[in-house]
Amino acid sequence: MQAKSLDAQDLRWPWVTAAALAGLAALSVATPLSVLGGAAAIIFIGLGVFRNPHHRVAGGAIVSVGVGLMVPGLPALLLQGVNSL
């Protein structure tokens, strides 16, 4: 059975917003690289869950959390990298 692709419609935008706020809080206690690493792990877990046709909603919610954590983490990591030059 082929799984359909993950689209922007499958993301839960309130979850993305809440995770972005949590990501901002996480940046105050952790490095941007660790926040992005955790977000990437959450996204990969969510994509694995999303492949199962019975758990698409849960997979979409898990991916939404990972994407939300990446929103504040990526600019912070880029700024840290530029400042290190």
pLDDT in tens, 3-30: 567 666 777 889 999 999 999 999 999 9
pLDDT at 2: 55
Count of the separate structural domains present in the chain = 1
Rounded distance, CA 7 to CA 40, Å? 17
Confirm whether 35 is domain-assigned: yes
Average pLDDT, the chain: 87
pTM equals: 0.83
Q: Are 32 and 76 in contact (CB under 8 A)?
A: yes
Confirm whether 1 is domain-assigned: no
Confirm whether 5 is domain-assigned: no
Confirm whether 30 is domain-assigned: yes
pLDDT in tens, 32-58: 999 999 999 999 999 999 888 888 889
The boundaries of the domain holding residue 75 are 11-83
pLDDT in tens, 57-70: 898 899 999 999 99
Q: What share of the chain is helix, strand, coil (3-state, %, to 5)?
A: 80, 0, 20
Q: Are 18 and 26 in contact (CB under 8 A)?
A: no
